[in-house]
Structures are given as structure tokens and as C-alpha cells.
Structure 1
């Protein structure tokens, strides 16, 4: 029965029952309503209203739940659903609403996966161009400068050596950017070596001391999950270097039951009062793609803690 006719039938039933009760009750109403009769009428009307309200409440309450969920639903935090109870048109509405949320979450997840895959492909392309074109050009420049320095008179040799040092520094920066864009060490040497290299880069360029606790013998997470772990650690350490004013970072990767946990913590100024930025949202998006759980919270001792918990694949070796 459509919802409109369901409400009409409920009201009709209540009014019919009220009319029957009034007809069968041993009460009369005078031309001038007496106080006792007014009390009886008020009690009867109140009973009719209460019964009607109770019957309609059970029918329409799921609509109120749907409205409240629509107001607070956030596709970046999936999983919220309306309870599927009862039967009839409202139950069908609840079922359709939950199915719509599932489709939207699935589409958003697929869109995010495509966007991140395109991002990784673009990173690889830029890294390759930096290495093959700009890097090789700077290398050729350094070779030419070396030959020029060897043949240059003393009065210009110093200037050429300064140019050579600047070109060498630029070449090293290009290589570092290319490494950050395309984690070749992750593909060639594995996750632990890639995390260790990122920690070394952080210590070298920001003077932040990194204490490592990278457990060996961890199960294989697969290329997608390992890339997520690496990117989350990379983003967390980049945020620390840029915003935290920390002097110590703790980086660990360990097994916890059926999960592998990444921890990046610092002793900086923390994130209290700061809004969630694009970096943290990006980390959460990556984590959801591999079924991982990411939390970013302040440490009791001061600073910030980023924890990523990645489930181990069922077919992974122990």
C-alpha cells in the first residue's frame, strides 16, 4: 500500500473506532455542554489523538531517521545505514536509501582509486622526465664545466667552480624530487628499505632525528598496500618537516595480530585546533582503498601520532 493511503487508512480506522465508541457509550451531550460532558469529550478526543499519534509514529519514524542521516552523512566516512526494520512502503524506502548510499560509496571509492592511479602514473611520468631530461642535461653541463675549468685561466676558474657547485646541487635536488615522486627503492628493494630511505632523507634535509623500529620478516602486503604504507609515511614525515617544529620522529612498522601497523609520531606542537587538510584526507582515502584504518591524533606527551593499520592478506605467508 502506498504511504499516502496507509496514513489515510490509519486515520480512518481511528476516527471510525472513536465514532463507534461514542455511539455505544452511555453518554449524551446536552444542548448546552455541561462541565462533566466536556471532560468526557476531552478525554475521548485525547485518546483518539494519542492512538493516532502512536500508529503514525511507527509508520513515519523511519522517515525522520532518513532525514537526520541525510543531514549528517559523509561519503568520506562510509558505513552509516538506516536500520531495516518493519515492512511496507517505509521499509522499501529505507532499503532503497541504504542501497543508494552503497552505490554512492562504491562509486566514490572507484573514482578515488582511478584518481590515485592517475596521480601515481603522473608522478612516474614527471619523475622519468626529471631523470631523463633535466637530470641528463645537468649531468652534461657538469661535464662541460669540468672541461672548461681544466682549461680556464686562473681569474675565471673560481667563478666556474661556483657555477659547477650550483649545477651539482641542482642535480642532487632533481634526483631527490624524482625519488620522492617515484619510489624506485620500493619497487627494487622493498618496503622496509623505502621507509628507511625516507627517514634518512628527513634527517638529512631537516636535521630531525628519526628513531626507527622497522621489524623484519613481515608478511607480504601486496604492491597496492605497500604503496599506501609508503605514501602515508612519506606524507606524515613531510607534514612533520613543514609544520610540526619537532626535533624527534619515531617511525615503526610492526605486526599486530592479523595486521601490520605503521606508526609515525613526533614531539612537535601537535594538531590541536587545526582543521583536517588535504594531506590527511588524501592519506585516509588511500587507506580506505586497501581496507586499512588510519588515525591521526595528538600524543599525550606532545606532538602528533599517525597510525595506519593494514590487514594482512589471507594468503600471505606468516
Structure 2
């Protein structure tokens, strides 16, 4: 990664203004020398054949001048295209820094600026997502401890009341009991979505299994899962990223894809340097729609662990999401 002070302007190169002047001067000097050395003369008035020779000479000089200027200024055009399409959520976009001079210095400065922006974006995203996870954990804890325990007390009280009330009122009390029990189940589900305790207690595979099972129950979709049994240790942060990406992806499938078949896979790559999460469905597909907040959030999470995320149309219809998360200590930087 290019740091703030890793590379400054090289200096010593010819400024762009003088390079253009030198190119133009060289072309016109060469043209003048050719005309001076040639046996051609110019009459007064100019003859038709002489006018043709002058026009051809002028055309050759203009073409040579244009070709040289195009070669000199082409990197600026590539720089403009990159500036128009750069996306900090897709890191690594750089221009090749070739040659010397003002244009090369400009490209080098732009690449260094992109590296700084990507580092700052990653740092700020990490802080924001850490704060978000902390707030989710706090809310989940309060839902479990305060709201959950309150509803449990209500259920126990209703159970005692139901045993003492007349038979004609007991049905209504039992109906309230069922409503309170359903509310308690919903509170527990919300708490699990906010902070998956199974991830901390039983690990990533168990957490994803629970997530996939819940998706199948809520959507009635045919869900398959293929989880490798010998996954390497990714660390707590990377496992949370994988879980959150899978959670958001399944939420998008339920909301937008109208899919009746979903497959979730988690495996180690053949080289063993990364873990791959792949989620495919047979729904509507991406269809060229712009990325929403959920997709950009997944990309930000992937960047936190130096992973890469792609969403493409699946070969059999629908959408395919792939998240590659590098294994700590096994990344090949060569």
C-alpha cells in the first residue's frame, strides 16, 4: 500500500507545457528542414502543384504532431476515466505509472491519494461497524434481560391466573398467554439476529446452520447447505464478517429475489489461503439494478478483513454471491 510519504514527485522531468512546446517545435523544425533541403520552390503566385506539395507537407506535420501529442497526453485520458469511475469499495484500482515527467508525477500522486483514501475509508468503516456491533450487542442484551424476563414473568403470572379463573374466562386468559408467548419468541429471535450467541458459543458453521434453517422456515424455500468440516480458524472478526454477509445476503434473497431454491456453501479454497462463502439462488437475478445500502455494507465488511466480494448472475439463473476471506498467516503476498 502506498503511504503518505512513500513516493513524492520525482522532479527533474520536463514540465508538460514545455514538453508540448518541444514536440511542436521539433515537428515544425523537421518540416522546415525537409522543405529547405528539397529542390521544391514556391512561385508567386503559387502554382497548383506547389500548393499540393505544401498541403501534403502540412498534413504530414499535423499528423506527426497529433500522434506525438496523443502518446504524451493519453495517460491523462486514462486518468480521467479512472477518476470518473473510481469506487473506494473496490480497492486496488490504479493506473500504471510509466515513464517520467509531469504526467507520470500526476499519476503517481493520484495513486498515492487513492491508497490514502482507501486506508482512511477502511479505518472509518471499521470504527463505524465496531460501534454498530457494540450497539447491537447492548440492545440484544437488554432485550434478553429486560424485555425477555418481563414477558417470562407475565407468562408465569397468566399461568397462575388461568388456574384460578372461572371456566368461561379461562379461554381468554389462555389466548393472552399465547400472545405473550409469541411475543417472547419474537423478542428472542430479534435478539439472536442482533447478536448471534451461537456464533460465540458454537462457532461459524453452527451459526450459519442456524441461519439457513431459520431462512428455510420463514420462506419455505428449498435450502441446501454444504459446509466443510475442516475449516481453518479465521478469527472472531472475520467469522463475524462471514456471518453478517450471509445474513444480509439471505435477507436480500427473501425480500427481492422471489427464489424457491437457495444454496449456501462454506469451504476452503484449493490453495488453502482463503475461505469461500458462496450463496446462489434461482430468483430474479441482479438485473443491472444499482447496488443498495445492504450490498455496499457487505463490501465494507469484506474490506475490514481484506476480503473480496463479488455478486454476479448465476449460470443457471438467479444470483451468485462469493466472499473470499484470507486465512491469517497463509496469505501469499508474493
Q: Classify 1:14/1:270 alpha carbon distance in 2 versus 1 (closer, same or farther; 3 Å).
A: closer
Measured against aligned partners, the alpha-carbon deviations of 1:61-88 in whole angstroms (never above 9, x if no partner) come to 2112212222222222222222211111
Q: TM-score normalized by structure 1? A: 0.90
**Aligned partners of 2:89 and 2:303 also within 8 Å:** no
Residue 230 of structure 2 corresponds to residue 223 of structure 1: no
Paired residue for 2:312?
A: 297
Shift of 1:178: 0.4
1:259-270 matched pairs, under 5 angstroms: 259-270=274-285
RMSD across aligned positions (CA): 2.2
Q: Classify 1:252/1:28 alpha carbon distance in 2 versus 1 (closer, same or farther; 3 Å).
A: closer
Provide the secondary structure at the position in 1 that maps to 2:24.
helix
Shift of 1:220: 0.4
* Partners of 2:72 and 2:320 in 1: CA distance: 47
* Partners of 1:315 and 1:85 in 2: CA distance: 32
* Partners of 1:225 and 1:128 in 2: CA distance: 22
Shift of 1:180: 0.6
Shift of 1:300: 3.6
Paired residue for 1:208?
A: 221
Paired residue for 1:60?
A: 73
* Partners of 2:248 and 2:315 in 1: CA distance: 22
Provide the secondary structure at the position in 2 that maps to 1:78.
coil
**Aligned partners of 2:285 and 2:317 also within 8 Å:** yes
Shift of 1:169: 0.6
Residue 101 of structure 2 corresponds to residue 88 of structure 1: yes
1:153-168 matched pairs, under 5 angstroms: 153-168=166-181
Shift of 1:197: 1.3
Measured against aligned partners, the alpha-carbon deviations of 1:179-216 in whole angstroms (never above 9, x if no partner) come to 01101110111111111111222233333343232221
* Structure ranking higher on relative contact order (CA contacts 8 Å, 6+ apart): 2
Paired residue for 1:75?
A: 88
Measured against aligned partners, the alpha-carbon deviations of 1:17-46 in whole angstroms (never above 9, x if no partner) come to 333443443332222001222122223222
**Aligned partners of 2:281 and 2:320 also within 8 Å:** yes
* Partners of 1:298 and 1:58 in 2: CA distance: 38
Gaps of 5+ in 1: none
User: How many pairs align?
Assistant: 316
* Partners of 2:288 and 2:16 in 1: CA distance: 47
* Partners of 2:173 and 2:217 in 1: CA distance: 27
Residue 59 of structure 2 corresponds to residue 46 of structure 1: yes
Q: Classify 1:213/1:10 alpha carbon distance in 2 versus 1 (closer, same or farther; 3 Å).
A: closer
1:1-318 matched pairs, under 5 angstroms: 1-257=14-270, 258=272, 259-272=274-287, 274-314=289-329
Q: Classify 1:37/1:303 alpha carbon distance in 2 versus 1 (closer, same or farther; 3 Å).
A: closer
Shift of 1:273: 5.2
Shift of 1:269: 4.0
Provide the secondary structure at the position in 1 that maps to 2:95.
coil
* Partners of 2:139 and 2:190 in 1: CA distance: 10
